[in-house]
Chain A
């Protein structure tokens, strides 16, 4: 055949061969490789989606913990506030009690003191009376009727008391 001949048979067979190679390459190379590539793409997409989900969950958990932490902080502050208030109340009560006690004790002491003074006055009075009687006996050199005696003393004391 000539160098630059155009041969119908060659053209037809070449067309057929090209079609065969086209289908063969599609079947043996492109289809399996593209299948693998798309599977890998799907796997990558899935991994990315999983990571995205995990991130969303982590963010939600973080928000939740943040809220819980804030709530706990508020609660603890409330507890401290309440405790402070209670303590203050207690201290005020204690101080008030102490003041009342002190007042009571002072009152008792004052009463005691008054009674002591009263008793001392009475003792003093009777002693003064005895003293007066003996002085009077000495002066009068005679016995006085004890009843008169007592009356006289009382009068005396009254007068003394008035003189005070």
Chain B
């Protein structure tokens, strides 16, 4: 009996990064246009579509269910930022929401069989780099360039290499943690599908019936729970590191 290829399940397992769709060579520099970017566009379209749908026909009184959800979401993320970073960082709320939504939806598209955006290390590195830039900018803003540079020799100059290392380690660890969890979860799920398909083949079934249902249980953790946790951890660390880069809230209110 001939079974279509897409029904037979994976016959081999390949762990790789995003596929390159197009490449642009500028001298010795190569600009890659990868699968990840297209998936990002899909994610952005979904998030913005959802936002536009939820905020359609907003009213002050007699609010719709959609509006209640939109308001709850905005208030929840605003309160989270206020509680974690303090009131002077409230302008930062949309960026926190951006990373959170991007991370969650970017991870959850793996449920559709697509490659999770967050299993591309470059994506996490980008967000971590943005965090690093904001941390550095905050330190310079509140301490001056002198204060920022002096911070590396604190408490004693011997600490200089360690301080530089920890400065770089902060965003790197954030990026690697998120990437490792999502990509690792993806690999485990791929292994499960691969293994179950092989078990089906071993007992002579063309259609891998074992891959129905069983992976869903594992997917609850490796996709749903892990995706949400990693997004939450990432934005929490981002907020804590950035707000710690400035002085405590009371002191900042006094100087500004």
Contact = CB atoms under 8 A, between A and B. Distances in A.
A28 B16 contact: no
- The bracket for how many chain B residues form the interface is 35 or more
A150 B72 CA distance: 144
A3 B17 contact: yes
Contacts of B6: none
Given A6-B121, A30-B74, A37-B74, A18 B98 contact: yes
A21 B122 contact: no
Interface string B8-32: 0000000111111000100001111
Nearest to B124: A14
Interface residues of A, number: 35
Contacts of A29: 51, 54-55, 70, 73-74, 97
Given A6-B122, A34-B74, A13 B33 contact: yes
Interface string B213-229: 00000000000000000
Interface string A29-40: 110111111011
Name the prevailing secondary structure of the B interface residues.
helix
Nearest to A14: B126
B183 interface: yes
B74 A3 contact: no
A54 interface: no
A40 to B, nearest CB: 5
B65 interface: no
Contact of B48 (A28, A33, A43): A28
B32 A36 contact: no
A6 B125 contact: yes
Nearest to B49: A28
A7 interface: yes
B98 A21 contact: yes
B89 interface: no
Interface string B91-124: 0011101110110000000000000000011110
